[in-house]
Structure 1
Amino acid sequence: MKNHTRVSRAAFLLFAIAAHAQAALDDASVAGVVTDVSGTPVRNANVSIQNASGTSVSEQKTDAAGRFTIGHIAPGTYAVVVSAPGFASANSIATTGPDATGAVNVQLARSDVLDVQVNAKRLDQARNGLSPETGSSVYRFSQADIDALPAGADTPLNQVLLQAPGVASDSYGQLHVRGDHADLQYRINGIIIPEPISGFGQTLDTRIIDQVNLLTGALPAQYGYRTAGIVDIRTRTGDTGNGGTVDVFGGSHQTLKTSADVFGSQGPFSYYFSGSLGVDNLGIENPTSGASAIHDHTRQGDAFGYMSYIINPLTRVSLMFGTTSNQFEIPNTPGLPTSFTLNGNTTFDSSQLNETQSELNNFAAVALQGTNGGALDYQVALFTRYTRTQFNPDPVGDLLFNGVASQDFHSNSANGVQADTTWRLNDKHTVRAGLFFQQEHAVFDDSVNVFATDDARNPLSDQPFNIHDSSSKTGYLYSAYVQDEWKLTNKLTLNYGLRYDRMDEYVSASQLSPRIGLVYALTPATTFHAGYARYFTPPAFELLSGSTISRFNGTTNQSPSSQNDPVQPERSHYFDLGVTQRLGSSVTLGLDAYYKKATNLLDEGQFGSALIFTPFNYAYGRVYGLEFSANYRQNNVSAYLNLAYSRAQGKQIDSAQFNFDPQELAYISDHWVYLDHDQRITASFGGTYDLGKTTFTFDGLVGTGLRSGFANTDRLPVYAQINLGVIQHFNQPLIGKFDARLLVINALNRVYELRDGSGIGVGAPQYGPHFAIYAGLTKHF
């Protein structure tokens, strides 16, 4: 009996020791808080603690503050799985030890937010499907590509496009794609944005871009109106989350630019807003070879907004708007002699001229876009735009140097509707159709001070007088198209269609234009494309004027010629053939050839004192060329090279002849002449190298020179420009993510001349930028 009692006591003692040991083992805990994306606590969320095998060890509900504490678990690593009605489930990892609590914070996204993101992506894909690329040449820039440029998002849009093949640079920020003057169409999220009056400033800020595609060649029937290139922009949105950036950029020429954007969503509503303000002392290219221009201060600002609301999973309404306001001083050339006498005075320091120009561009569009989830996609958009430009002369200096001091005001308002649809008949046929209508109203109001002259164009007096020249005009554009994308085989796709265009402006004209394009995937790595397009290109209505040139006869503003036939739309046949070859996963090569034969070939020139372009026609035109592109991307290295050969010629000017000297008119009537923007060889190149959180980047341009001299019979020398940059990415405690960049423009400081003031429709000399240093800082939120 005594022995039995001792055994029982020993067993009890062992049991007590084992229980205490197990309690010690199970004395760990996990605690935390559950919130939604806005930081609001989520009550009654179910929190499950799971071990490595996925077995639930313990569960608990969160309290009113979203908090939970689960104790008496063994030390170790656990998965914390949280679910709640109306939210998507989420999980986190917690590690706990003896007498230690593993702390976690779990954020739940409402399930309707995920639905909104899925719906937005579905609608984006449907909208992109409205814009085919079959048979045309496409060059793409992503937001990452733009950020990797030396100036990043502070790179003007025209300089981004210069990195594409076949794009040549000109003064005042002009671009020439495949030998055409301007003739670029800008689309934002599939909606055509009416073009502004030509000026120096950029209307669209690069930072709004998520992706931009440049389409050239034989375009499908969907694309008309402007056809040298389609700048197809997909903007950033707030569909994927909340955030924003603040950017400060500055450096040489007293440059200072501040920019910001913000984006986000709340349920089915999403938004993106951006804006920038900048000043510098090199707003327009320097007319001299000096490092700093005289009288070249500029102030520029812009804003953009995009808002969308998903009505239901298959329908979305969106609103976008933009505004740009630019103020420019016109740079001066010192030491110029005067040519006229004003009130007995014949002297004026040309470095003290005070000419200015202001530009304002506003646009807005509202769109209803939808899909039935399969066969049918559509987008209907209403758009409006107002643009104005005002040139202010130096009232004394311009009379002494030019004999004319003209204050020119041009404005244009445009309103219209665009509708595009896609109907997938079956696996082989996708039919697209659409309509476009635009009404424009242009106003011209010029106040011109001139001197009276005799028949020999000699001044009769040194006392000027004023002629008020004003006019207005309303014009209309109509378009319709239908096309079928036919998958003949798994490798061969045919896109064929018809487009009808009509214009009722200063002249009335129309055309039915066939389009056909082929894409043949010979192998997964080799793709051929070929196409033919008949184009109908109206002249830029906002640049045409109904003023009577005879009003200035007998004055210093009398035109060289009295002939003024109306500017006609350009009609052309366009042929394109190309091949793309992938070499492994890193290298892509492209080769493309094109030929355009035109009647009433459109061109533009600067003929007056205001830096506003005037359209005119060559009766006959021919443009042809060859483009090569190479892209390399692997791991932390990327590079590209584009090389283009182009010839652009015209013969016999048959409109707006009053702008030309009679000798030039006579020569051009019997000779094929090069267009002023013709450049035989154009090259662009660049690349990046990522080393940890540092990116080294460069880009460059090379050209054989634009045309110059009498009837463009000469050309300017070869030029080259290389830009270097380094970008450092930071992610610091308290501060968070931000980027710093340093860049050098024209690192080799090769001074080159874009224009020398001669050539058809060329107003003044312009030089490329000198060596300059800039820096930028971007904070991400």
Structure 2
Amino acid sequence: MFHRGAILILAGVLLAAGASAQSTAGFAAISGVVRDATGATVPAARITVSNESKGITRNLTATDAGLFVVPNLPPGPGYRVTVAAQGFSNFEASNLELAVGQNVDIAVALAVETATTRVEVIATAPLVEDTKTDVSQVVTTQQIQDLPINGRRVDSFVLLTPGVSNDGYFGNLTFRGMPGNASFLIDGVDNTEQFFGENGGRTRAPSGISQDAVQEFQVVSSNFSPEFGRTSAGVVNTVTRSGTNDLHGTAYWFFRNRTLDARDRYAAVNPPEVRHQTGGTLGGPIKKDKLFFLLNSEIQRRNFPIIGSLSRPTVVNNSGQSFINCPSSVTTNGVTETPTAAQCAAINTLLPRFFGLIPRRNDQETAFGKLDYHPGERNAFSASFNFVHFVAPNGIQSGVAINTGSQITSNGDDSVRVRNGRWSWIALPRNNLVNEFRFGWFTDRQADDFDPGVQTAGLGYLQLSVGGQNLGAGASYLPRVNPREQRFQFADGLSWTVGRHSFKFGVDIASTEDYVYSISNAFGSYSYGSAAAFALDFSGNPTGAKHWQSYSQTFGNPVVDFTIHDNAFYVQDQYRPWAKLTINYGLRYEYAVLPQPKIVNPDYPQTGRIPTGTRNLEPRIGIAYSLDDKTVIRVGYGIYHQRYTGVLVSGLFTNNAVYQKSLNLTSSQYSLGPGFPNVLASADQARAGTTVEFAAPDLRTPYTEQGTLAVERQLGKSFGLTVSYLWNRGVQGFGVRDLNIGSLGPPVTYQIADPNGNIVGSYSTPTYRAANKVDPRYSRILQVENGVNSYYNALVVQARRRFAAGFQANLSWTWSHEIDYKQGSYQDNQSFGTINSFANTFNGDYKFDKGSGLLDQRHRLTISFIESPTFVHRNGAFYKYAVNNWELSGIVTLAAGRPTVAGITVSDSTPFAGAAFTSTLNGYGGNNRPPFWPYAAIYTPAAYRADLRLSKKLPLTERYLVYLNFEAFNVTNSQYDTSQQFTAYVERGGVLTYQPSFGQGSATAGFPDGTNARRAQVSARFVF
């Protein structure tokens, strides 16, 4: 294969080079080549890099080729570079501001020394980065503080980056069409919750770190260096604030209520909401130039009840007070029955509690502390600790209005507890050697439970679905601790500058323990195809007759405790063969030591082994060529492996029909199942309904291949433009095959009818029959394997205006197309291994479902701006407090919709006699989409929104400032549907009847408010 050849070639080059390059994880760098007026290199020039406010001084000597590299510099303003060489005038670049992950390359041209020594001064860093080869964007301190932000969750600004978009509407991210799986770093230390592959604290907690503790962050969406890994998506590289030689502090308060909030279009009323966020920061010197501190603390108190309502109901009436189509006839295994009016009235008593106002809160406390110590020029130490505590009664569901009853059935009490810390040591044993050691500690505890205030008498914790309407007691996975995660990380990187090379090699070892207490569906779940079928079982049923469509329940041990050991080694080099060419190349190798199940199903020994991929070599190369001092061409390619998530390992431990037994019964197995509302005491009563899951013996680590071609051009003094082509190929993604379903049987033909019942066509499908099962002792035997591929192509345009004359702006437009083999979204992948999330239309036929994926978004345009005009150049209190010192900032987003996959609801207890499973037309029980339609049937509407902030600065004195702010999110209240009615057909009696409600909007979700309706807040900030 092509990538194996690339690995061998690049490995050979690296072995010949034999070392490594500068750090970017949480730091910045300054580099350059010293030349004389003729362009010849000047060897052994003396370089000094200093930052007075941070107490930093670095002295070094340029190489024989005139190259100098100063890595591991804390990002921030105030850097000065001086260059001196015998026989030449001194050179100085001052007031340089370094961004995280940035290598500021300075073109040093020394003039011949004359009687009067002349100093060349550069006041700003170059706009075009001539050594950069990745696709990235830095969100600066000014943007973090001045742009509008909803909920003070700082990683929301990641969406300003090209190639990045929302993955669903719960705050998750997709990079280049890949579901989740990004890498989140804080000061170079891994802050990713490995169990689900999200940022620490996930998206249920309002934030994983206070906005005021963050200085800036870099988002790398493609072609990052070998130093970064454990992701096939992208990297979010966050840098926290540090104390300086000056004492600085802030105090702030944000307030919101519903006064200026708009009503969500699917909510009957605009519910009350009150939110307070307040906190403060203090930083400064403990010992000037040596020891610095920074402290931050913040709290949130939010009261926001949840509304239950209905949007175009199909099973109950519009008020949610009674079922429809009851009484009506029900055919079960060839027998037709009709419930009485009394039986229909009895089930209506369950409904009122699902459609009303339910109390809900969202409270959080965060704290952050940091120490930086510079004992001398050759050593620097840093330590930090972050604390997050979050509780939310009835807060699992975050939507303002839930129109399916799931404000109870999918809800519960939520809590999150995050603790993380780091310690780092930067040492300079020689002028051209820099070593950085990092230790990281990370914990994240996610726990949920039933809320006792919303239980229904007679049902307890039972799960119930009637014609697709959920009527259970709470989320089926409650109670749970999922997970309690703890990681210890050790990383070391050595940078070495010699000749025209800047090498770096490093090692990164992490040990992550996940403790899980969870047994989903422990209390049993009934599913009925219609209200009439449910009514027959609910009351007036002295014989215990059964009319359910399916019954499921899980038994066994809820506790799983395991550890994953992730090991990584890398080597990289930045090579400058001549002035206009930079080559960044390297190799990374990752190896995960996965835990092995100790409890094995003797029927299937495969349940005792989880294979570990060992071919995880990752060659990467990027080339930057400067046509002139204002134009750079970049090209890059690399391989990036996915991190093994804990949810995958946990599923392979528990789903072996011994550790936990998952029982799934259909209407053909009534003799094995209970009668409503009873549950089974153990799975031993019905072994034929249990499911086994294990990994394929040749399971490999999924990876992506990424390619980039870009041109960057400086237009004018402060304006830059970049045009890029991004290519991404997802390879050997995880899929699921049922080894027990057997071969396809005789076809069944369905009639297709319009909404009026007129037959307009037919569809025939081969079928899966219960009689063809390979092992009748089990319901399903699921094999996790590599079968899913994806493809992403994008054209990206970035325009940026550096802050000048009181104005700055950034524009990012992405045109893209994502195609996959039913890859799914992040929500699908976090419930890995379940047949409904991963199964295709036909067993193991991944290509049959090839099409535009759920993460396909053709267009995305974001514009951010900050304008601080000076209206009148006059002094005086009136001009200071009334006329000047205003600021307007905003973020404008124009985004295309996402695909909706159509579905077919099977109303009969079984679609045809002898079906293996009853929820799909072909009896497979996997993807229930219309097989005669494309995978992506329709798209949700486009989203158009503008978030604005108006700020007024009140300078009390030169040192003490007060800022008053007003922010509005989706200021024009341009609400957009984020989900649609997906049921295209209802099957009854062999006829597929088209549903006219298909494609109609059903929710206007948004993060973090649970709606995209307009929201507004006010705030005050005191700064000194």
Q: TM-score, normalised by structure 1?
A: 0.74
Deviation at 1:238, TM superposition (A): 0.7
Partner residue of 1:266 out of 286, 289, 300:
286
- Residue 626 of structure 1 pairs with residue 624 of structure 2: no
Q: CA separation of 1:640/1:662 partners in 2, compared to 1, >3 Å: closer, same or farther?
A: closer
- Residue 775 of structure 1 pairs with residue 1018 of structure 2: yes
Partner of 2:939: 715
- Residue 706 of structure 1 pairs with residue 778 of structure 2: no
Comparing 390-399 and 128-137, the one that deviates more: 128-137
Deviation at 1:413, TM superposition (A): 1.3
Partner of 2:209: 204
Contact 2:144 2:154 in 1 (8 A): no
Q: CA separation of 1:490/1:173 partners in 2, compared to 1, >3 Å: closer, same or farther?
A: same
Q: CA separation of 1:414/1:491 partners in 2, compared to 1, >3 Å: closer, same or farther?
A: same
Q: Provide the C-alpha distance between the structure 2 equivalents of 1:283 and 1:125, rounded to a whole number of angstroms.
A: 48
- Residue 724 of structure 1 pairs with residue 956 of structure 2: no
Q: Provide the C-alpha distance between the structure 2 equivalents of 1:687 and 1:482, rounded to a whole number of angstroms.
A: 39
Q: CA separation of 1:373/1:601 partners in 2, compared to 1, >3 Å: closer, same or farther?
A: same
Partner residue of 1:382 out of 431, 439, 448:
439
Partner of 1:417: 490
Deviation at 1:131, TM superposition (A): 7.9
Deviation at 1:648, TM superposition (A): 2.3
Partner residue of 1:552 out of 662, 666, 674:
662
Alignment of 1:582-601 (within 5 A): 582-601=714-733
Partner of 1:91: none
- Residue 641 of structure 1 pairs with residue 811 of structure 2: yes
Partner of 1:689: 867
Partner residue of 1:577 out of 709, 733, 740:
709
Partner of 1:66: none
Partner residue of 1:167 out of 141, 164, 168:
164
Partner of 1:74: none
Contact 1:727 1:739 in 2 (8 A): yes
Contact 1:751 1:767 in 2 (8 A): no
Deviation at 1:707, TM superposition (A): 2.6
Alignment of 1:128-527 (within 5 A): 134-151=132-149, 155-169=152-166, 170-195=168-193, 197=196, 198=198, 199-200=202-203, 201=205, 202-252=207-257, 253-267=273-287, 268-281=290-303, 295-328=359-392, 329-331=395-397, 336=404, 355-372=412-429, 374-394=431-451, 396=460, 399-400=463-464, 401=470, 404=476, 406-410=478-482, 411-426=484-499, 428-447=500-519, 448-451=521-524, 468-505=557-594, 506-510=610-614, 511-527=616-632
Contact 2:702 2:731 in 1 (8 A): yes
Partner deviation per Cα, 1:642-666 (whole Å, 9 max, x = no partner) = 1112222222779725343756354
Residue 214 of structure 2 aligns with an amino acid whose one-letter code is I
Residue 701 of structure 1 aligns with an amino acid whose one-letter code is T
**Matched residue of 2:193: which SS?**
coil
Residue 259 of structure 1 aligns with an amino acid whose one-letter code is G
**Matched residue of 1:245: which SS?**
strand
**Matched residue of 2:558: which SS?**
strand
Deviation at 1:438, TM superposition (A): 0.8
**Matched residue of 2:590: which SS?**
strand
Q: Provide the C-alpha distance between the structure 2 equivalents of 1:665 and 1:459, rounded to a whole number of angstroms.
A: 25
Partner residue of 1:658 out of 831, 835, 843:
835
Contact 1:171 1:285 in 2 (8 A): no
Give RMSD over aligned pairs. 3.9
Partner residue of 1:738 out of 959, 962, 965:
962
**Matched residue of 1:449: which SS?**
coil
Alignment of 1:29-40 (within 5 A): none
**Matched residue of 1:415: which SS?**
strand
Contact 1:451 1:461 in 2 (8 A): no
Q: CA separation of 1:149/1:283 partners in 2, compared to 1, >3 Å: closer, same or farther?
A: farther
Q: Provide the C-alpha distance between the structure 1 equivalents of 2:626 and 2:486, rounded to a whole number of angstroms.
A: 45
Residue 255 of structure 1 aligns with an amino acid whose one-letter code is R
Q: Provide the C-alpha distance between the structure 1 equivalents of 2:977 and 2:718, rounded to a whole number of angstroms.
A: 37
Alignment of 1:93-132 (within 5 A): 117-119=55-57, 125-126=72-73
Q: Provide the C-alpha distance between the structure 1 equivalents of 2:552 and 2:218, rounded to a whole number of angstroms.
A: 55
Q: Provide the C-alpha distance between the structure 1 equivalents of 2:1020 and 2:624, rounded to a whole number of angstroms.
A: 44
Q: CA separation of 1:288/1:592 partners in 2, compared to 1, >3 Å: closer, same or farther?
A: farther
Q: CA separation of 1:294/1:745 partners in 2, compared to 1, >3 Å: closer, same or farther?
A: farther
Residue 791 of structure 2 aligns with an amino acid whose one-letter code is R
Deviation at 1:261, TM superposition (A): 1.0
Q: Provide the C-alpha distance between the structure 1 equivalents of 2:723 and 2:51, rounded to a whole number of angstroms.
A: 45
Q: CA separation of 1:296/1:577 partners in 2, compared to 1, >3 Å: closer, same or farther?
A: farther
Partner deviation per Cα, 1:279-327 (whole Å, 9 max, x = no partner) = 224699999899x996553112222222122232210121112122222
Q: CA separation of 1:465/1:624 partners in 2, compared to 1, >3 Å: closer, same or farther?
A: closer
Q: Provide the C-alpha distance between the structure 1 equivalents of 2:558 and 2:968, rounded to a whole number of angstroms.
A: 46
Q: CA separation of 1:192/1:353 partners in 2, compared to 1, >3 Å: closer, same or farther?
A: closer
Partner deviation per Cα, 1:181-213 (whole Å, 9 max, x = no partner) = 222222233333343654323313322222211
Q: CA separation of 1:630/1:316 partners in 2, compared to 1, >3 Å: closer, same or farther?
A: same
Unmatched runs of 5 consecutive residues or more in structure 1: 1-111, 338-348, 605-614
**Matched residue of 1:161: which SS?**
helix
Partner deviation per Cα, 1:442-476 (whole Å, 9 max, x = no partner) = 12212543237799996699999975522222111
Number of corresponding residues: 642
**Matched residue of 1:261: which SS?**
strand
Partner deviation per Cα, 1:476-518 (whole Å, 9 max, x = no partner) = 1110011111001111001111111111224311312211110
Partner of 1:49: none
Q: CA separation of 1:458/1:470 partners in 2, compared to 1, >3 Å: closer, same or farther?
A: farther
**Matched residue of 1:366: which SS?**
strand
Considering only CA atoms, is the larger Rg found in Structure 1 or Structure 2?
1
Contact 1:135 1:517 in 2 (8 A): yes
Unmatched runs of 5 consecutive residues or more in structure 2: 1-49, 61-69, 76-99, 104-130, 258-272, 313-355, 465-469, 530-545, 595-609, 666-678, 684-688, 737-783, 824-828, 870-883, 903-934, 984-1001, 1007-1011
Partner deviation per Cα, 1:346-395 (whole Å, 9 max, x = no partner) = xxx96698612212221111111122463011111111111121222356
Partner residue of 1:750 out of 971, 974, 983:
974
Residue 362 of structure 2 aligns with an amino acid whose one-letter code is T
Residue 300 of structure 2 aligns with an amino acid whose one-letter code is G
**Matched residue of 1:270: which SS?**
strand
**Structure holding more strand per residue:** 1
Deviation at 1:406, TM superposition (A): 2.8
**Matched residue of 1:553: which SS?**
strand
Partner of 1:672: 850
Contact 1:564 1:658 in 2 (8 A): no
Residue 716 of structure 1 aligns with an amino acid whose one-letter code is T
Q: Provide the C-alpha distance between the structure 2 equivalents of 1:509 and 1:189, rounded to a whole number of angstroms.
A: 29
Q: Provide the C-alpha distance between the structure 1 equivalents of 2:59 and 2:1021, rounded to a whole number of angstroms.
A: 28
**Matched residue of 1:406: which SS?**
coil
Q: CA separation of 1:288/1:295 partners in 2, compared to 1, >3 Å: closer, same or farther?
A: farther
Residue 281 of structure 2 aligns with an amino acid whose one-letter code is D
Partner of 2:635: 530
